[in-house]
Structure 1
Amino acid sequence: MPLPSTVTTRTLDAVTGVTVPVPDPDHLIHLQFRRFAGCPVCNLHLRSIATRHHEILAAGIREVVVFHSSAAELRKYEGDLPFDLIADPTRILYREFGIESAPRALLDPRAWPGIARAVASTLPTILRKDKPAPPNKPDGGRLGLPGDFLIAPDGRVLASKLGSHADDQWSVDELLRLAPIREPHP
């Protein structure tokens, strides 16, 4: 299935109740597809996005993150993130954007260092009971692959990446390099 070159206009419902226009007429959209709510690898990655969210906003980018988990699960595990979270437990968006699930998500040796960092980072918060442990049987399973799309206000997909393993997504630096340079307003 070919990746979309343009995105059909729609609104998505964030877990907070906010409606999110995609594309957004006023911003670039970084549409991220992550695995399940509570995924340690996803959590570590999204914390790096949250830490530099001010830079992303300054570049004119709105973060929209899709999980194949329910809204309730997202609120439980990821509810403190400062951007829009979209629940897609039936994987409608995943299919539309060509996001797959495969054993290589966890079996690819390139994912292992990220998995180790994520577990080491997540374990203390679980032991302190600051966060719940990841679910034993997550919505949609554990084998989801990540995906990233940068969408222009007119719906064109400016860049995309389909991850080849669980820890294969754009870093903040990569995202910022992909964003067109914004002209300052007079």
Structure 2
Amino acid sequence: MSLPTTVADRALVTIADRTIQIPDQDCLIHLQFRRFAGCPICTLHLRSFAVRHDEILAANIREVVVFHSSAAELRKYEGDLPFDLIADPTRILYREFGIESTPRALLDPRAWPTLIRSVVTATRAVLRKEKPSPPNKPEGGRLGLPGDFLIAPDGRVLAGKLGKHADDQWSVDELLALVPATEPRH
């Protein structure tokens, strides 16, 4: 499937019951598609974005993260993140943006180092009682692939990536490098 070139105006409801607009006429949107709430790889990845959130905001980027879990599950596992989180348990947005669910998400050896690191990190957080244990049977399954889209205020998709395995997503540095020089920064 090819990447979308534009995104139609839409209102999405966050897990905090706040309505947001995509595209946002005031900033770029980094629309991230992750797997399930409590996914160790996703949690590790999103924490790397959380620690650099001020840098991302300074580049005039708003983070919007979609999971194929319910809002209740997202609040339980990811509710402390400083981003807009969207529950999409029926995968409507996933289908629209071409995000797949396949066994290669976890079977690809390129994902294994991060998988091991994320499981160790998640285990430590559970033992310290900082986080609940990841679900044994996550809503929507374990096999989703990630996706990243940078959306301009006019709805153009400036860049996009459909992940080939569970750890194939943009880093903060890759995201910041995609910001066009002409976009206003705050």
Q: CA deviation at 1:29?
A: 0.2
Closer/same/farther in 2, CA of residues 184 and 36 from structure 1, 3 Å limit: closer
In structure 2, what is the equivalent of residue 56 of structure 1? 56
Code of the aligned partner of 2:52: R
Local SS of the residue matching 2:180: coil
Note the aligned Cα RMSD (angstroms). Answer: 1.0
1:78-131 per-residue CA deviation (whole Å, 9 max, x = no partner) reads 000001000000000000000000100000000000101101111111012211
Letter in structure 1 aligned against 2:24:
D
Deviates more, 1:124-133 or 1:142-151: 124-133
The alpha carbon displacement at 1:184 in A equals 6.0
Matches within 5 A, 1:70-109: 70-109=70-109
Matched, 1:152 2:152: yes
Task: Give the stretch that moved more between structures: 115-124 or 5-14.
Answer: 115-124
Which residue of the partner structure matches residue 33 of structure 2? 33
CA distance in 2, matches of 1:57, 1:123: 30
Q: How many angstroms apart in 2 are the aligned matches of 1:126 and 1:184?
A: 38
- 2:60–2:185 Cα contact (<8 Å) kept: no
Give the C-alpha shift of residue 2 in structure 1: 2.6
Cα shift at 1:6: 0.2
Number of positions where the alignment pairs a residue of Structure 1 with one of Structure 2: 185
Q: Distance in 2 between matches of 1:113 and 1:184?
A: 35
2:165 corresponds to: 165
Instruction: Name the CA distance, whole Å, in 1 between partners of 2:85 and 2:185.
Output: 29
Structure 1 position 180, deviation (Å): 1.4
Q: What is the identity percentage for the equivalent residue pairs of Structure 1 and Structure 2?
A: 76
Change (3 A) 1:132 1:184: closer
TM-score, structure 2 normalization:
0.97
CA distance in 1, matches of 2:49, 2:18: 20
- Separation (CA, whole Å) in 1 of partners of 2:26 and 2:148: 19
SS in 2 for 1:111: helix
Q: CA separation of 1:82/1:184 partners in 2, compared to 1, >3 Å: closer, same or farther? A: closer
Structure 2 residue aligned with 1:117: 117
> 2: CA distance between counterparts of 1:183 and 1:6?
20
The aligned counterpart of 1:42 is: 42
Change (3 A) 1:183 1:128: closer
What secondary structure does 2:161 align onto?
strand
1:15-34 equivalent positions in 2, closer than 5 A: 15-34=15-34
Pairwise CA distance, 1:15: 0.3
